[in-house]
Homo-oligomer: A and B are copies of this chain.
């Protein structure tokens, strides 16, 4: 990794860049990006005293090119927290340089610091590069089916 790569915690200072990266990820995943009202909630929920999620941004020479977002789950059987990664995204022009790996290493470090038993996450079934990335990182595909109940339309 380039030695001018820096990881920053989400803050009021880099919040706009965070939203712009989320929009780029939504575009890549062919999903709806956050609207104006959602951006306001993201700010409250991420920067309040008891944040509802954690996010970190990575920058190279003052360009924000990547972010990771996660939260803490829990395994009853292990009786240990689970770090659940929600998003890991690197801008297209910056892929293949080890940036995603640096971000994920950071995430593994956080999980170990917090004595997590597992790191869990979901990958869209058509997202081959992502599947290869996580399998390279010793992620095993489980025989669990992922279900969702939508409470908003």
- A135: chain B residues within 8 A (beta carbon): 147
B117 near A144 with CB under 8 A, answer no
Q: How far is the CA of A146 from the CA of B131 in the complex (A)?
A: 10
Q: How far is the CA of A25 from the CA of B75 in the complex (A)?
A: 13
Given A71-B74, A86-B73: A80 and B147 interface contact (C-beta under 8 Å): no
Cβ < 8 Å to B, chain A residues 71-123: 71-81, 84, 86-87, 108, 111-112, 116-123
Q: Which residue of B lies closest to A39 (CB)?
A: B79
B84 near A73 with CB under 8 A, answer yes
A75 to chain B, nearest CB (A): 7
B149 near A122 with CB under 8 A, answer no
Count A interface residues, CB 8 Å.
Answer: 64
A40 to chain B, nearest CB (A): 8
Among A86, A87, A117, A149: residue with most chain B CB under 10 A? A149
Q: Which of B34, B76, B112, B121 contacts A53 (CB 8 A)?
A: B76
Q: Which of B33, B118, B145 contacts A151 (CB 8 A)?
A: B118
Say yes or no: is A63 at the interface (Cβ < 8 Å to chain B): no
Q: How far is the CA of A137 from the CA of B138 in the complex (A)?
A: 34
A selection of 15 A-B contacts at a CB cut-off of 8 Å is A22-B77, A45-B81, A52-B72, A52-B81, A53-B73, A69-B74, A69-B76, A71-B72, A73-B86, A116-B151, A123-B144, A123-B145, A124-B144, A134-B149, A141-B146
In the A-B complex, the 10 residue pairs with the smallest Cβ-Cβ separation, listed nearest first, are A38-B79, A53-B74, A122-B144, A139-B147, A41-B79, A119-B149, A42-B79, A144-B146, A125-B143, A117-B152
